[in-house]
Amino acid sequence: MNLMKLSQSKSKYIKSLHRGRYRQKYQNFIAEGTRIVDEMLHDEHVSIELIVALPEWIDRNPAITSTYKHILYEADEKSFGELSLLSTPNQVLVVARQPEQKLDMRAAENGLTLYLDRIQDPGNLGTILRIADWFGIKNVVRSPGTVQVFNPKVIQSSMGAFLRINSPQMELKQLRTQLEGLPVFAATLNGKSVYDHSFPACAILVLGNESGGVSEQLLHAADQLLTIPKGKGGFAESLNASVACGILVSEWARQRK
């Protein structure tokens, strides 16, 4: 089967999607790696624009090659490596359409919604999406100033969770307007111990910026401040944002059982 070769113009276009402003301009994003790509190719809700792969991946996937031959581009290792953002490039990447990010109202009215206040590290956001996916949380809302959900490093660290999580961007006051009546809890270093707190089934949990925590404005807007108490002999100043998220969400889930 004769496949299309990767042209310089197509390579330039893919490389442009490494940058946020071009992802916004084209409303597309890049995902790399055999596991994520396989999941995306089998998800009917994902709109794939093009696939770039090494010959060995193409040879191992004849069914996919046949189905997607009109958008499949073959590349050599050098050309593929220039497109990849991984320290060790994989064998396949896709460019896909960014799905619309909107609040899942049914899930929000029946469970926990995470609100991220200026989370800037892509790895943290990806991990938080993965945590939400593990615990069945469908909404991870991002404040203005939080990293783009379709940043390639977010996609990579989420391990496919981005396909199942809704992550719109809005101010907290806008979210509260949509979820009227739901209590808001904010994670901070000085609050009530999460282990002494009784979580309601439905709530909004605010997690703060890696270095500055939750902003003063959002702390004042919260109904309750929560903290993860240090263990005996603990000296660390703070916890990583995604680690703190995992502990807090785990406690919420434990109380739901």
Q: Extract the tokens encoding 102.
A: 């909107």
Where along the chain do its domains lie? Answer: 4-97, 105-256
Q: Give the position of tokens 């040879």.
A: 59
**How far is C-alpha 35 from the chain's CA centre?**
16
pLDDT at 1 over 70: no
CATH dotted code for 4-97 = 3.30.1330.30
pTM of structure: 0.95
Q: Give the position of tokens 């320290």.
A: 87
Asked if residue 248 lies in contact with residue 137, where contact means CB atoms within 8 angstroms, the answer is no
Q: Within 10 Å of residue 88's Cβ, how many Cβ atoms?
A: 6
Q: Indicate the average pLDDT of the chain.
A: 95
pLDDT at 163 over 70: yes
Beta bridge partners of 73: 4, 52
- Residue range 103-121, pLDDT digits in tens: 999 999 999 999 999 999 9
Asked if residue 114 lies in contact with residue 205, where contact means CB atoms within 8 angstroms, the answer is yes
Residue 232 CB-half CA count within 13 A: 0
∠ CA 149-164-197, nearest 5°, is 85
Q: Within 10 Å of residue 163's Cβ, how many Cβ atoms?
A: 18
pLDDT at 54 over 90: yes
pLDDT at 242 over 70: yes
Q: Extract the tokens encoding 118.
A: 């200026």
Quote the pLDDT of residue 121.
Answer: 96
| Among 215, 165, 168, CA closest to 187 | 215
Asked if residue 199 lies in contact with residue 170, where contact means CB atoms within 8 angstroms, the answer is no
Please tell me the class of the 105-256 domain: alpha beta
Beta bridge partners of 141: 115
Residues 158-164: what's their mean pLDDT?
Answer: 96
- Residue range 185-195, pLDDT digits in tens: 999 999 999 99
Helices (H), the chain: 8-16, 20-26, 34-41, 55-60, 62-67, 77-83, 105-108, 122-134, 152-158, 172-178, 216-221, 241-256
| Rounded distance between C-alpha atoms, residue 89 and residue 108, angstroms | 38
Quote the pLDDT of residue 234.
Answer: 87
∠ CA 138-144-150, nearest 5°, is 55
